[in-house]
Amino acid sequence: MTASAALWLALSGGTASAIEELTSGDVRYITGGVGENEKRELLDRVSQYSLRIVTARKANGDFLADCKVTILRGGQTVLEAVMDGPVLMARLPPGSYSVRIEFEGKAQERAVKITPKSLMNNLYLYW
pLDDT at 17: 66
pLDDT at 67: 98
Tell me how far apart the alpha carbons of residues 117 and 126 are, in angstroms, rounded to a whole number. 27
Phi, psi of 36 (to 5 degrees): -65, -40
Determine the CATH number of domain 20-126: 2.60.40.10
Domain boundaries, the chain: 20-126
Tell me how far apart the alpha carbons of residues 31 and 116 are, in angstroms, rounded to a whole number. 23
Name residues of the chain where pLDDT drops below 70: 1-17
pLDDT at 2: 41
Tell me how far apart the alpha carbons of residues 8 and 63 are, in angstroms, rounded to a whole number. 35
